[in-house]
Structure formats: C-alpha cells, structure tokens
Amino acid sequence: MTDDSAIQQRAIRLAFPGLAAGEQEVTHLLCCVHSNQTLLRRLGSDANKPIYQLLKHAMYCFTEAKNHDLCEQAVAAAAAIDNTGNTANYVRTYWLQTASKWAMYARQHCPLLLQVTTTNACEAWHRKLKSGAGLSKGQVASHGIYGMILNVMDAAKDVDNRAVVAKSRFRNRKLAVCTKQYEEIGQLPVPIQKLLARELDSVEERIAKEKEISSLDENLRCHCKFHRQYLLPCRHIFHLDAEIKVLTPIRWETYIGMFAECGMEVYEAMSTVWVEEEGSGQNFMRTNIVARIRESFEQVQQQLYTAFELIDQLDGENTVQNQRMEEWANHVQATLGSLTSVCPEDIVNRHRPWEL
C-alpha cells in the first residue's frame, strides 16, 4: 500500500513485475487518506463538488458494480460541468480505470485490509526517525551515515519497548463496562474489549432513537463496517441479542477461540467471502453459488478437525476411532468423486446429471 505518488507506483511496478516476468502477482493498493486528499486537491472546488461526492461514495461502497456505476456518474457529471472534456478524461483515466487500487470493494475479502486502510503507521515511523534526527520536513541530516544508523537503532528500540508494554497489557484486565452485560467479553483481549465497548454504547443510542432491529441470517453475518473489519459482534448483533438471545455460549466460544493462541495477528491469515444485497444479475448469482460451495467445503473441514480433537481427548488406544475416521474420509472422497466425475458440459446442458 502506498500513497498517490506516481514515483512510488512506478517503483512498485518495477520491483514487482508480476506474472509477465514469471513472478508472483502483487496487488497494489492506495492509501484511502491520500486518495481523498487527491480528490480534494483536484475536485474540491464548489463547481466540482458533485464529482467529488460521487467518487468519495464510490471509494467506500462494498461492490464493484456499485463502484463502477458511481464512477460512470462522476464521468457524466464532469462532462456536464466542463465542456472541454478534460475533467471527464481525468476522472475516467485516473479513477474509473484504477478503481481496484483505491476503492474499498477490492478489500472486502480481507478483514486486515479493512482495518489498515492508510499508510499512517508507516508514516508514523518516518516521523519518529525525523524527530530523532532533529529534522523538519524537507531537511537533510547534517551528520553522516553513522549518526543516522544510531538514530534508527534508538527509534527502533523505543518502538520495541512500547510494543513490550502493550503486549503485557494485552490480556491483563477486564473492562467493567463490557463484562457487566456480557461476562464472556472479559475473556477477550483488552483492545477487543475496548472495540466492543463502543459497539455496546451505540446499542443504547439505537434503542433511544427507536431504530429498527436488523434482521440477520443464522450465521449472524452483518454487513456493517465494524463486523467486516473484525468479524465480531457489532451494534446490530448486540441490538438483536437484547431482543432475542442470539449470542449463545457456543457463539462466544467461537469469538474467544479466535484469540486463544494469538493476538491481533489472527486477522493476517483470515479471509471472507461476502455476498452483497446491493448486487444483482448474473454476477450476483454466481458469487452466491461460489460462496455456498465454499461454505460447504469449510463445514466438512471443520467436522474433520472437531473429530480429531475428540479423539485426542480419549484415553487409551485410538485404533477403532482412526478406522472410523478412515471410513468417513473414504465416504467423503466417494461422494465428491461422484460429483467431480460429471463433466462441466453435462452440468450446463443436461438435467441433474449428477443423479444419473
């Protein structure tokens, strides 16, 4: 992830040429803060305000189809405002054609990318180095390489010390504001408790404003920003739970288990598939089918892991249990084999070929 600097974007393309050079493809994302600053700088005038609002909305929408539609509207608005066509060409070239880099729809599969949408953390490190050297923006160090190395080491040591302190406080207390309503929250890390505390406060606001209770599916998957970012109970889920008890002990065990052996780095390996209500047509149907198939595979895999855990809890020889697991694995393979043996042409052109 970089800012909107053309030099940095060029450097990324040179450093990571991708599949064309026989290397792994690298996704290049742009910082949302810098993208918005660029929008304000180029389209922040009163005359261009309609274009700015459309592109800002496009930046935070959840689906590619919606993003593309808003960008097309921005191009049309630019053409209506600027008769020369320069503004419309700018929007089309630098925003419509590069949407996958700056728009949030391209990051919905990864909670970590939804949490880290800017380069602020990297720039904070740069500020630390500059302040340690006594430099202001645009200045060059008056001392040599040796002095700069010492500055880097001092800054790194300070950051490491703060990290040690933060780690020691990661699980050392329970927030009363959370645990008085949900004792299970006290088993979560302190940063997560703080996040959930804000969501619980928002529930009271929702009730005071007499907002409707959101209807969620049986998996309690909410489409709000918080739930997409952290995969935890949000204000909408807590609001529903106040009316109908949906946060059962089993569900809390799932949330607690996410952080049982690690901290916030649990999100680094997580990915999700979202099916958007605002989508429509053939792409929406295909996305829905893919999500259902993947969910079925994940459920079978979860069955396997749960069965192995039960076997590990039993004392004595596991010969009989292992034989039963082998039989179950053979059954799964046979079932999937009967499905994968059907050629794609038959699936498309014949009626229920998997039953023949």
pLDDT tens digits along 120-178: 777 776 666 666 656 555 555 555 676 777 777 887 788 788 777 777 777 878 888 77
Asked, for residue 175, whether it belongs to a domain, the answer is: no
Asked, for residue 285, whether it belongs to a domain, the answer is: no
Whether residues 214 and 259 fall in one domain: yes
- How far is it, in rounded angstroms, from Cα 277 to Cα 63? 10
Q: What's the structural domain count of the chain?
A: 4
Whether residues 264 and 192 fall in one domain: yes
- Residue ranges of the chain whose pLDDT lies below 50: 277-281
Whether residues 156 and 97 fall in one domain: no
Whether residues 129 and 205 fall in one domain: no
Whether residues 219 and 254 fall in one domain: yes
Q: What is the per-residue pLDDT across 263-290, written as a single tens digit (0 to 9) for each?
A: 888 888 777 766 554 444 455 566 567 6
The H or E element that residue 166 is part of is: helix 145-168
Whether residues 264 and 347 fall in one domain: no
Whether residues 310 and 230 fall in one domain: no
Nearest CA-CA partner of 70 in 89, 57, 86: 57
Q: What are phi and psi of 105, to 5 degrees?
A: -60, -30
Whether residues 11 and 85 fall in one domain: yes
Which pLDDT value is given to residue 303? Answer: 80
Asked, for residue 212, whether it belongs to a domain, the answer is: yes
Taking the CA atoms of residue 85, residue 89, residue 95 and residue 98 in that order, the dihedral angle to the nearest 10 degrees is 170
* pTM (two decimals): 0.63
Which pLDDT value is given to residue 52? Answer: 93
Provide the b/e sequence for 79-107 (b: ≥16 CB within 10 Å): bebbeeeebbebbbeebbeebebbbbbbb
Whether residues 162 and 201 fall in one domain: no
Asked, for residue 284, whether it belongs to a domain, the answer is: no
Residue-number span of the structural domain to which 343 is assigned: 303-355
In the numeric block, which tokens belong to residue 348? 């498309």
Asked, for residue 177, whether it belongs to a domain, the answer is: no
Whether residues 164 and 195 fall in one domain: no
